[in-house]
Amino acid sequence: MAFTLWLVPLTLLASYYTFVAAAVAIPQSPNQKVIKNKVEEGCDLYEGKWVIDEFYPLHNASSDCPFIAKGFDCVRNGRPDKKYLKYRWKPNACDLPRFDGEKFLERNKGKKIMFVGDSISNNMWQSLTCLLHKTVPNSNYTLTRQSLLSIFSFPEYEASIMWLKNGFLVDLINDKEKGGILKLDSISTGGQWKEVDILIFNSYHWWTHTGHSQTWDYFQVGDKLIKDMDHMEAFKIALTTWAKWIDSNIDPSKIRVFFQGISASHADEKACLRKTQPEEGSMAAPYPGVDIVKSVINNMTKPVELLDITLLTQLRIDGHPSIYTGSGPSFVDCSHWCLAGAPDSWNEIFYATLLRD
């Protein structure tokens, strides 16, 4: 990843602290919407710590869920330490309800749930399908994969849990002469988003790519082609385009919208290598891009619920596949997450939020 925390401009830090201060001291702040969404009867689900729980993991990826992607199944890929499987996210003021797949599917009978986003979105989708299958093992499932869309269905409940691959949310087009053009103010694929009952978006990691890992050649805004610009500025423009799309196309009485917040990467200098324990404590430095996500969501006219997973992932430096991706020890993955692992907790939070009303 291109950013290191100590390189974050001071202005960014300042606005982050203003946000925190406002959040704590002034309930009527403009940030109220985000804050209201994350509080459940006085319990902030995102302030807490990772605790050892002998009842965890919630599933054994390989034996319970043969459909889990090889790259996430760290146990099968030979990861020798096992303590990382035992952590449960514990909010300070409450406990997350235990994940009950039957209850989840009863609640969502006849519904379509769609994750839209990058491979971290895939990570969460795979975790959810595994948690569901593990807790309702006698309910048959079908899994179909098309080029961009994967559909996991439980016919008994007429429920589908889908993942639609989309790294940027805005359009990336391929121009024969110019190459890849990332159109920051254009969304032409949103039609599929309107066909479901619950949407969980994410976008972030692709924006941080530079150099040879950058998957586009130009940015475009209006008619203007831009060779390069600050990638976080581009992320902000694109996310604002997405927000406007949701505001004008989604009826909240029909479709519930979530945004999966930024999942922390520990890829700088392969920091996750050989880590077998979470970071101590329940605080972490501000993470680049988080203030953009919160600000864009707060400025929306339609309700979007933020699954604010940044802090809890920042603490889980031990939770990445590292060299246990199944692709050999020269590949170190400090961005995705082992399953079982941290994404199961994101789904426990998602479940708690869905159960709330």
Ligand X SMILES: *[C@@H]1O[C@H](CO)[C@@H](O)[C@H](O)[C@H]1NC(C)=O
Q: Is 42 left (phi over 0), alpha (psi -120 to 50) or beta?
A: left
Least separation, in Å, of the C-beta of 211 and ligand X?
Answer: 27
- Under the binding rule (CB under 6 A), the answer on residue 139 touching ligand X is yes
119 labelled catalytic: yes
Among 38, 59, 79, 205, contact with ligand X (rule: CB under 6 A): 59
Binding to ligand X by residue 57, rule CB under 6 A?
yes
Determine the longest span between alpha carbons in the chain, in angstroms.
Answer: 57
Q: Which is nearer to ligand X, 138 or 147 (CB)?
A: 138
| Residue indicated by tokens 């509080």 | 39
Burial of 321 (0-12, 13-18, 19+ CB in 10 A): buried
299 contacts ligand X (rule: CB under 6 A): yes
To the query of whether residue 133 is one of the catalytic residues in this protein, the response is: no
Query: Is the CB of 62 or the CB of 327 nearer to ligand X?
Result: 62
Half-sphere exposure of 85 (CA within 13 A, CB side): 18
Q: Please state, in angstroms and rounded to a whole number, the distance separating the CA atoms of residues 213 and 153.
A: 34
Among 262, 296, 317, 339, which residue sits at the site for ligand X (rule: CB under 6 A)? 296
Helix (H, G, I), strand (E, B) or coil at 120: helix
Beta strand 48-52 with 87-91 is antiparallel
Give me the least distance between CB of 191 and ligand X, in Å please.
Answer: 25
Instruction: Give the H or E element holding residue 50.
Output: strand 48-52
Does 140 contact ligand X by CB under 6 A?
yes
User: Cβ 58 to ligand X, closest distance in Å?
Assistant: 6
Strands 87-91 and 112-117 come out as: unpaired
User: Applying CB under 6 A, does 156 fall inside the site for ligand X?
Assistant: yes
- List the structure tokens of 114: 């769609």
The one catalytic residue in 59, 73, 119, 320 is 119
Candidates 295, 314, 345, 347: give the one binding ligand X (CB under 6 A). 295
- Do the Cβ atoms of 110 and 196 come closer than 8 Å? no
Q: Which stretch binds ligand X (CB under 6 A): 40-48, 169-177, 290-298, 343-351?
A: 290-298
- CA distances to 71, 93, 130, 237 from 186, rounded to whole Å, are 32, 42, 34, 10
* Tokens 């406002």 found at: 22
Q: Which segment (137-145, 212-220, 226-234, 348-356) binds ligand X by CB under 6 A?
A: 137-145
Which residue of the set 186, 333, 344, 345 is catalytic? 333
The least distance separating ligand X from the CB of residue 317, rounded to whole angstroms, comes to 23
Residue 259 in tokens: 């945004």
236 binds ligand X (CB under 6 A): yes
Contacting residue, 77, 119, 150, 240, with ligand X by CB under 6 A: 240
In whole angstroms, the minimum distance from the beta carbon of 155 to ligand X comes to 7
Smallest gap from Cβ 345 to ligand X, in A, equals 15
Instruction: Enter the DSSP assignment of 207.
Output: G
Which residues are known to be catalytic?
119, 333, 336
* Residues near ligand X, by CB under 6 A: 57, 59-60, 138-140, 156, 236, 240, 292, 295-296, 299
